Amino acid sequence: PAVEKAFGTARYVLFYITAVFVSFYTYCLVHPETHIPIIGASGAIAAVMGAYLIFYPRARIVTIVPIIFFIEIIEVPAVFFMLGWFILQWANGCARIENTTHIAWWSHIGGFTIGLIFSARYKWYTRHSSAHKR
């Protein structure tokens, strides 16, 4: 809801559909030899995560941290959470383990990246266009 509110519903739908295609094509560019179909919304969800980071960089995310036999619930700055998540996606994507995990890591990377780019450009555009209207 927060990212949809930042974009507005119509732009959010356009953003989400664009993210689906970009994340799919990112995977296809990295794995042109694959014959394994990919399906799912994880690339688009990754794009929403990237947009959230741009729109709400100071937000805090509640997350679960397993510590041996205990579970700790903590608040983490969004930037650290997202950066850690992206590094994990990148590392798994570079390890080329899709065939064993059946997770399209590069789809996540492409989605997150387009989320960052699309929302940063939108944020810049809305700030500069509103400044010129004053």
Q: Read off the pLDDT of residues 75-134 as tens digits, 9 standing for 90 and up.
A: 999 999 999 999 999 999 888 766 677 889 999 999 999 999 999 999 999 988 866 665
Query: How many domains does the chain contain in total?
Result: 1
Range of the domain at 67: 2-133
C-alpha neighbours within 13 Å on the C-beta side of residue 128: 6
pTM over the 0.95 mark: no
Read off the pLDDT of each residue in 22-51 and give the average, rounded to a whole number: 91
C-alpha neighbours within 13 Å on the C-beta side of residue 28: 9
**Helical ranges in the chain per DSSP H:** 2-7, 9-30, 42-55, 78-94, 98-101, 105-133
Question: pLDDT category, 39, cuts 50, 70, 90?
Answer: confident
